[in-house]
């Protein structure tokens, strides 16, 4: 009756989320939440909207100078967000 190979709770939860179709939405939410930490509080003050569609993070920036700075740091920001999430959720960032 008892299993000889107990499974780790992380593995069980990961399998459950994957089978339920909840893993991707959870990762997307984590990526959006990670933006504030990765970009910093100063940049977050000038961001109005954030959403992800087709692995592209869209961010509405109210300051043109900040938008240009963020465009220059795009690759670094993508890598940091994906590291925080633990998966390649973001492939590009578009600032508008």
From first to last of its 96 residues, the chain has per-residue pLDDT tens of 566 777 788 787 777 777 876 778 889 999 999 998 998 888 888 998 999 999 999 999 999 999 999 999 999 999 999 999 988 999 999 999
Output the pLDDT for position 93: 96
Output the pLDDT for position 3: 66
Q: Alpha carbon 70 to chain centroid distance?
A: 16
**Token couple for 79:** 């890598």
Output the pLDDT for position 78: 96
**Token couple for 47:** 């961001």
- Half-sphere CA count of 70, side-chain side, radius 13 A: 27
């Amino acid at each position: 009756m008892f299993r000889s190979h107990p499974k780790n709770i992380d593995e069980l939860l990961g399998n459950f989320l994957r089978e339920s179709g909840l893993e991707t939405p959870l990762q997307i939410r984590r990526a959006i939440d990670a933006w504030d930490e990765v970009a910093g509080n100063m940049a977050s003050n000038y961001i109005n909207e954030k959403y992800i569609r087709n692995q592209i993070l869209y961010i509405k920036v109210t300051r043109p100078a900040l938008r240009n700075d963020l465009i220059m740091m795009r690759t670094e920001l993508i890598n940091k967000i994906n590291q925080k999430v633990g998966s390649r959720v973001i492939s590009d960032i578009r600032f508008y």
